[in-house]
Amino acid sequence: MAISHHTFLFADLVGFTALTASRGDDHAADVALDFHDRARRLLPNHRAEEVKTIGDGLMLRCHDPRLAIQLGLRMVDDLEMIDGFPPVRVGMFTGPAVQRGQDWYGTTVNVAARLCAAAGGGDVLVGEATATAAGTLADVAFQDRRLHWLKNVTQPIPARIATPRARSRFERLRDRHCAHTPPRLREAMA
């Protein structure tokens, strides 16, 4: 029997608990639902499917690790351009998993969730298994590989932060914040 590999992607909002405490349950729920809706719109173009939502988080399954990485980067990029929206963090891992009903289980799923928890705001943390399965991506750069000791995972997991090769996060944020800056000042900042 052939073992099928899947790429699981977890994404959530950094600081969601603090947002809930400071802005209230209704506002926090609206932000979480907005995040879910925006992420769902990206799924068809990345051959991904929603497994479930967990509070402010999403669990997704992707058919192609290359598209999973691009999906993670797109989610982070799209949402960091919205003023006042909490940063998104993404973790993903590729490997075997078992399906029961509409949900998925196994070490691959657990590691993907833990990589999300280990990621910083605006980071797409890609397990080495996913990066290897994806191969070379012309539009994606990977930072140096690091070992991550994840909660309840017996071995360290090698992972890399993926970034868009075209522009750095700094360049995207600079462009966003400088859009209304007078041209002379913009030239001085360049």
Q: Where are the domains of the chain?
A: 5-189
Look at residue 166 and tell me whether its pLDDT is greater than 50. Answer: yes
Query: In this predicted model, which residue has the larger pLDDT, 184 or 71?
Result: 71
Q: Are 15 and 35 in contact (CB under 8 A)?
A: no
Residue 182 has what pLDDT?
A: 53
pLDDT, tens only, 92-151: 999 999 999 999 999 999 999 999 999 999 999 999 999 999 998 888 988 877 776 667
d(CA 51, CA 64): 16
Look at residue 163 and tell me whether its pLDDT is greater than 70. Answer: yes
- Report DSSP letters for the chain, one per residue: -PPPEEEEEEEEETTHHHHHHHH-HHHHHHHHHHHHHHHHHHTGGGTEEEEEEETTEEEEEES-HHHHHHHHHHHHHHHHTSTTPPPEEEEEEEEE-EEETTEEESHHHHHHHHHHHHSPTT-EEEEHHHHHHH---TTEEEPPPEEE--TT-SS-EEEEEEEESSS-HHHHHHHHHTTTS-HHHHHHH-
| Total Cβ atoms within 10 A of residue 121 | 13
Task: Report the share of the chain in percent with pLDDT over 70.
Answer: 82
The residues, ordered by sequence, that sit 6+ positions from 33 with a Cβ below 8 Å of its Cβ are none
| Total Cβ atoms within 10 A of residue 46 | 21
Q: How far does Cα 56 stand from its chain's mean position?
A: 13
pLDDT, tens only, 11-61: 999 999 999 999 999 999 999 999 999 999 999 999 999 999 999 999 999
Look at residue 1 and tell me whether its pLDDT is greater than 50. Answer: no
Residue 82 has what pLDDT?
A: 86
Sign of CA dihedral 125, 160, 131, 66: positive
Residue 186 has what pLDDT?
A: 46
The residues, ordered by sequence, that sit 6+ positions from 44 with a Cβ below 8 Å of its Cβ are none
The domain made up of 5-189 is a member of CATH 3.90.870.10: no
Q: Tell me the mean pLDDT in the region 168-182.
A: 58
Task: Report the share of the chain in percent with pLDDT over 90.
Answer: 67
